[in-house]
Amino acid sequence: MSNQFKAAQQQHQELAQQLHHHNYQYHTLDQPEISDAEYDQLMQQLLAIENQYPELATPESPSQRVGSTPLEGFTEATHASPMLSLENAFNGEDLKSFDSRIKRFLAQTDDLEYICEPKLDGVAVALTYQQGKLIRGATRGDGTTGEEITHNVRTIGAIPLTLQNDFPDQLEVRGEIYMELEPFRKLNQQRREEGEATFANPRNLTAGSLRQLDARLTATRPLTISCYGIGEISGTAPETHFKLLQALRRWGLKVNLEVIKSAKNIESVISCYNELQQLRDQLPYEIDGMVVKVNQRVLQQELGEKSRTPRWAIACKFPARQEETILESVRLQVGRTGAVTPVANLRPVNISGVTVSSASLHNWDEIERLDIRVGDTVIVERAGDVIPDLVRVVKEKRTGNETPIEEPDHCPVCHSPLLKEADGVVPRCQNLSCPARLKEALKHYCSRGAMDIEGLGDRLIDQMLQLNLIKNIADLYRLTKDDLFQFDRMGDKLADKLLQAIAASKQRPLENFIFGLGIRHVGRHLAKVLSRNFKTLEELSNATGDELLAIHEIGAQVSDSVVRFFTDENNHKLLKALAELGINPHNNQQASSNRLQGQVFVFTGALEHFSRQEGQALVEAQGGRASGSVSKKTDYVIVGPGAGSKLAKAEQLGITILSETDFLELIKQEN
């Protein structure tokens, strides 16, 4: 073994350890210690070593998290013991009968202890660990045989590639892979903005992500897991289900223990059910009920199973958030990429406290698949997305007066012909100056996360277009006070404020600008990735497809789209005009000074003077680091109004607490 290889191996091992640690802190404990950028940097170093010594890229290497060469097809995975499903209960009465059935079967009258777990709405998986190493991930399938999805589960940060502490030699863990609501809504919103078809609910999105042959795609989906049981285990298993869940946690697996309750009898189970139902809307993920399990594992064994369901557990479902209403009409929306998507206008209906008057129809194939017609009675569900979902048509209620929904062949706004691209499902308006597209593009450019032009919302953008004041983004920077005076309710002060906000946007970092341009397939995250790799917009605009492809996380679709964007003549002219107007953003991620080197900052509360992102950028620009949670390592906590537990913890640990203005002073002093 050469010395060089030994050194590389040593460095690889250290990096892998650090990455595993930070991965665990972030995904399993929800207590990140470093920023995403720092994590990416460690990963890049590891990938560089593996590039030189491919033998170091073992299945347990953190590099597997990013996905590797696509598979040709899926293989079957037979389960060592069947993956059962659960019988359903719907209320307290059903739970009482469940309890009586068990007592009768066990011939006992004493109270039974139960564990109450949220019933997550995702995809069930079995993960096999041998000597602590993850060797297989499989879907449930028909309960006996599923599909092997090891390549995909390895990309899920909350799934450990190696176990910790006193793990057993052989272990098959079972759990639910799911996606939290916030990332789900964000992803759907992004797809909506980019003119892609949206997903009906987090479960469909999770299932779709796990059914990929190319794990690199799965890696981009923020999936997580909660483990709730086991198949096979070697050695002596814990005596109770609760102790088993604690052991799984100790071995490094994610278990949502915070919401799991133990109940000393069935009455207490019913209280837990009512409490969980109250909590349902506050949870960061979708649940559709509560699973009740007998705690003593010997009793579970004694009770056994009948056909495909265990006698020792039951799912007590929550009422579905669905209602019946009438589809009154369908409106067509034109997005900034020209995608024309159908949205259902519904007769307003109250679904668990929220009035719903429109629903997503996803795409034209879906309309055909569900055979939806105007005038139909339909079932609408609030399924996690901000926009509710149209689940199905109540065909029995058809009168014969319903009218089919025709797929349009012309843009409803500019009337130019629509074209379907390679993806085949979304018809798009090809006219770059279509007013509908322009409006959406402007809205996106001004939005938070992009150029963040405060005060420039829908209403003003609409007026600007109606008054013919702007034809593209560059025109924004040419607006004068006199132009603004043509708007409704525009005073001197407001006009000044708007012009200032527009001018201030010239200083936004490159990543915001790239995102604001609305390049297809380039969302906020990829805009950040691109900005990290190019110092100026000019460098990015001159990048070749190969140069882009060499960047980790950039695939063919994105690189093609970026190249296409910058070679388009209209875009070229627009960027030139913007540069002439003084919008020439560059990458200011590089630390401009190292005065805050090693100092850790935590921002909490509703910040009023700057966004969390801006605060983080200020800290990073001086070599400091922003963290999501307060620990002994934190140096400063910056508090905005409404700060809660993080402030309390900082006080308890005696950490310096700063107001937003104190913080800005500190940053200034350090300059």
DSSP assignment of 4-55 equals: HHHHHHHHHHHHHHHHHHHHIIIIISS---S-HHHHHHHHHHHHHHHHH-GG
- Report which secondary-structure segment, H or E, holds 664: helix 660-670
Half-sphere exposure for 246 (CA within 13 Å, toward CB) = 10
Hey, what are 128's tokens?
A: 């096999």
Stretch that binds ligand IVH, among 60-68, 81-89, 206-214, 461-469 (CB under 6 A): 81-89
Give the shortest CB-278-to-ligand IVH separation in angstroms. Answer: 18
**What one-letter code names the amino acid at 33?**
E
Neighbours of 627 (CB within 10 A): 21
Region from 79-87, 147-155, 320-328, 448-456 binding ligand IVH, contact rule CB under 6 A: 79-87
Q: Which residue lies nearer to ligand IVH by CB, 229 or 338? A: 229
CA 245 to CA 256: how far, in whole Å? 9
Candidate list 50, 117, 196, 440; residue touching ligand IVH; CB under 6 A:
117
- Token code pair at residue 277: 């139902």
- Smallest distance from ligand IVH to CB 100, Å: 20
Q: How far is the CB of 146 from ligand IVH (least distance, A)?
A: 11
Q: Which stretch binds ligand IVH (CB under 6 A): 12-20, 115-123, 165-173, 262-270?
A: 115-123
For 77, phi and psi rounded to 5 degrees?
Answer: -130, 115
Nearer to ligand IVH, 39 or 228 (CB): 228
In the complex, least distance from residue 122 CB atom to ligand IVH, rounded to whole angstroms: 7
The DSSP code sequence of 264-291 is SSHHHHHHHHHHHHHHGGGSSS-EEEEE
CB nearer to ligand IVH: pick between 207 and 581 = 207
- Determine contact, residues 329/110, Cβ cutoff 8 Å: no
143 versus 642: smaller Cβ distance to ligand IVH: 143
Q: Is 427 in the site for ligand IVH (CB under 6 A)?
A: no
Q: Least Å distance between CB 386 and ligand IVH?
A: 24
> Which CB atom, from 87 or from 366, has the smaller least distance to ligand IVH?
87
Compare residues 13 and 88 and give the one whose CB is closer to ligand IVH: 88
Nearer to ligand IVH, 245 or 470 (CB): 245
Nearest approach in angstroms of CB 118 to ligand IVH is 6
The span from the CA of 513 to the CA of 499, in Å, is 18
Q: What letter would DSSP give residue 586?
A: B
Using the minimum distance from each CB to ligand IVH, give the nearer residue, 179 or 575.
Answer: 179
Q: How far apart, in whole angstroms, are the C-alpha atoms of residue 43 and residue 455? A: 39
Task: Please say whether the beta carbons of 131 and 162 come within 8 A.
Answer: no
Residue 286 as a binder of ligand IVH (CB under 6 A): the answer is no
Residue 84 interacts with ligand IVH (CB under 6 A): yes or no: yes
Distance in Å, CB of 305 to ligand IVH, minimum = 8
- Provide the minimum distance between the beta carbon of 292 and ligand IVH in the complex, in angstroms, as a whole number: 9
Residue 541 makes contact with ligand IVH by CB under 6 A = no
Cβ pair 317, 89 in contact under 8 A: yes
In one letter, which amino acid is 389?
D
Q: Are 204 and 263 in contact (CB under 8 A)?
A: no
Rounded to an integer, what is the distance from CA 589 to the centroid of its chain? 24
Binding segment toward ligand IVH, per CB under 6 A, in 84-92, 335-343, 511-519, 528-536: 84-92
For helices 435-446 and 510-517, the axis angle rounded to 10 degrees is 160
Which residue in 9, 11, 45, 85 binds ligand IVH (CB under 6 A)?
A: 85
Q: How far is the CB of 154 from ligand IVH (least distance, A)?
A: 20
Whichever of 228 and 242 has its CB closer to ligand IVH, that residue is 228
Of residues 478 through 517, those in contact with ligand IVH by CB under 6 A are none
Q: Among 57-65, 119-127, 532-540, 555-563, which window interacts with ligand IVH (CB under 6 A)?
A: 119-127
- Report if residue 251 touches ligand IVH, rule: CB under 6 A: no
Candidate ranges 113-121, 155-163, 194-202, 205-213; the one touching ligand IVH (CB under 6 A): 113-121
Give yes or no for residue 269 binding ligand IVH (CB under 6 A). Answer: no
Does the footprint of ligand IVH cover residue 229 (CB under 6 A)? yes
Residue 660 lies near ligand IVH (rule: CB under 6 A): no
Q: What is the DSSP letter of 240?
A: B
Coil, helix or strand at residue 67: coil
CB 26 → ligand IVH: shortest distance, Å? 23
Catalytic choice (6, 96, 119, 506): 119
Size of the site for ligand IVH (CB under 6 A): 15
119 labelled catalytic: yes
Closest CA to 445 of 386, 502, 530, 500: 502
Chain residue whose CB lies nearest ligand IVH: 124
Per the CB < 8 A criterion, the answer to whether 489 and 466 are in contact is: no
> What whole-number distance in Å separates Cα of residue 337 and Cα of residue 329?
24
Per CB under 6 A, 228 contacts ligand IVH: yes
Q: Which of 314, 315, 361, 453 binds ligand IVH (CB under 6 A)?
A: 315
Q: How many CA atoms lie within 13 A of 512 on its CB side?
A: 23
Q: Does 313 bind ligand IVH (CB under 6 A)?
A: yes
In the complex with ligand IVH, which residue's Cβ is closer, 22 or 140?
140
Q: Are 401 and 372 in contact (CB under 8 A)?
A: no
Cα angle at 276 between 274 and 280, to 5 degrees?
120
C-alpha separations of 494 from 162, 438, 474 in Å? 58, 24, 21
Euclidean distance between CA atoms 290 and 118, whole angstroms: 5
Query: In the complex with ligand IVH, which residue's Cβ is closer, 261 or 521?
Result: 261
- Smallest gap from residue 315 Cβ to ligand IVH (A): 6
Asked whether 358 and 345 are in contact (CB, 8 A), the reply is yes
Stretch that binds ligand IVH, among 163-171, 189-197, 309-317, 650-658 (CB under 6 A): 309-317
- Among the residue ranges 308-316, 441-449, 469-477, 561-569, the one whose residues contact ligand IVH (CB under 6 A): 308-316
* Half-sphere CA count of 248, side-chain side, radius 13 A: 30
Per CB under 6 A, contacts with ligand IVH among 133-192 are 140, 176
Task: Kindly state the smallest distance separating residue 183's Cβ from ligand IVH, in Å.
Answer: 19
Binding-site member from 163, 187, 219, 291 for ligand IVH (CB under 6 A): 291
Helix axes 510-517, 524-533, angle to 10 degrees: 130
124 binds ligand IVH (CB under 6 A): yes
| In contact, 419 and 386? CB cutoff 8 Å | no
Amino acid, res. 59: P
Cβ neighbours of residue 240 closer than 8 Å, sequence gap 6 or more: 113, 295, 296, 297
- Rounded to whole angstroms, the Cα distance separating 88 from 95 reads 10
Contact 179, 221 (CB under 8 A): yes
Task: Tell me whether residue 102 or residue 626 sits nearer to ligand IVH (CB atom).
Answer: 102
Among the candidate windows 127-135, 247-255, 310-318, 645-653, which touches ligand IVH by CB under 6 A? 310-318
In the complex with ligand IVH, the residue whose CB is nearer, 260 or 349, is 260
Active site residues: 119
**Which spans of this chain sit near ligand IVH (rule: CB under 6 A)?**
84-86, 117, 119-120, 124, 140, 176, 228-229, 291, 310, 313, 315
